Amino acid sequence: MNTPTTHEDAREALGALALDALDGAEHEAVIAHVRECEACARELAELRETAAALVEAVPAARLDDTRRAGVRSRLLARAAADRPAVEPPRMERIVGVEPRPEAAPAAPAPAPRPAVDFAAERARRRGVPAWMAIAASLVAIAAGAWALRTAGERDALRGQLAQARVERDSGVASARALSVALAGRDSALQALGAGDVVTMRMTTTGEARRGPRGRMYWARATDAWVFVANDLPRPPAGRTYQLWLVTGDQKISAGTFAPDSGGTVLVRATYRLTPEQLKAIAVTVEPEGGVPEPTGPMVLVTSAE
């Protein structure tokens, strides 16, 4: 229902159009003409360009510090509130990996494990807020300290594995179990896909040199996470381990798991996070079936070694 317009009328109105000053019906009519008329389209583009330069002429003025800071913090709060709904990460659990005879000679039966009683639990009893403490053990991912830049993710993982083998505080048997778990699960390696793999060490809270160890491998390009741990005791009856990706304001469950008889576990998940978002990775002991928010003692957490 545009009002028809002549070329002359439309051309005369181009200045007003460039300034967004045409009233409804005329605006539509002139726009319709410009779509058909190359000369008018060119002139309009030029006048628009010129009009846009008028912002340069604005005198310097600014909001006072309070209002400016208020704008900034409201924006960040809105962005945080606007995050996509947290969907449970796709998770594939690989548990009960038994050493293959050809890959690893029979290992001595693992010694009986103590019940779960780690530093976090002790910290809790002392009243130390463990979830606040992990902020202090912030993963130095942004700095790229542990980013591996190798030709292939498989080499990267194998390199990490070799390193794991010689860690003096890693038991020989568990290193072997870890080796088998990785070597036998090409799919877990493939899950990491191409690109840099970030490796994060996880240790018992508060006692980096003792207790179970874990590693999280994170391929940012594919949002793939592979969590490997060894020396993990079986959780108490009716309990399970739960893995968490911790951001500034959320603890995202990456699923529950149980270690195999050798204390080894390998968990694979897919979840998108930015390095800035990720504050820590943690493992807690929770009621069987898992919980939406961590409630139990923390047994492993990323350590900023």
Beta bridge partners of 93: 267
Compute the distance between CA of residue 147 and CA of residue 140 in angstroms, rounded to an integer: 10
Q: Which residue has the tokens 């978002």?
A: 277
Note whether 8 binds another protein by CB under 8 A: no
Note whether 59 binds another protein by CB under 8 A: yes
- Out of 6, 39, 46, 169, name the contact with another protein by CB under 8 A: 46
Interaction residues for another protein, span 239-298 (CB under 8 A): 274, 276-277
- Candidates 16-24, 101-109, 114-122, 212-220: pick the segment binding another protein (CB under 8 A): 16-24
- Out of 72, 90, 165, 210, name the contact with another protein by CB under 8 A: 72
- Candidates 29-37, 158-166, 204-212, 263-271: pick the segment binding another protein (CB under 8 A): 29-37
Beta bridge partners of 215: 201, 228
CB of 129 to another protein, least distance (A): 24
Compute the distance between CA of residue 276 and CA of residue 21 in angstroms, rounded to an integer: 44
Q: Exposed, middle or buried: residue 208 (CB in 10 Å: 0-12, 13-18, 19+)?
A: middle
CB of 22 to another protein, least distance (A): 6
DSSP, res 95: -
- Candidates 17-25, 93-101, 210-218, 260-268: pick the segment binding another protein (CB under 8 A): 17-25
Token output for 200: 């994060």
Note whether 100 binds another protein by CB under 8 A: no
Note whether 172 binds another protein by CB under 8 A: no
Residue count of the chain, please give it: 305
Token output for 154: 């498989």
Note whether 36 binds another protein by CB under 8 A: no
Residue type at 124 in one-letter notation: R
Note whether 16 binds another protein by CB under 8 A: yes
Note whether 78 binds another protein by CB under 8 A: yes
Note whether 61 binds another protein by CB under 8 A: yes
Token output for 9: 């009328």
Beta bridge partners of 225: 218, 269
Beta bridge partners of 224: 219, 270
| CB contact set of 18 (below 8 Å; sequence gap of 6+) | 44, 47, 48, 50, 51
* Structural Rg of the chain based on CA atoms: 29
- Candidates 45-53, 102-110, 182-190, 293-301: pick the segment binding another protein (CB under 8 A): 45-53
- Candidates 69-77, 111-119, 237-245, 259-267: pick the segment binding another protein (CB under 8 A): 69-77
Q: By C-beta, is 68 or 100 nearer to another protein?
A: 68
Interface contacts to another protein, rule CB under 8 A: 12-24, 27-28, 31, 34-35, 41, 44-65, 67-68, 70-72, 74-76, 78-80, 83-84, 274, 276-277
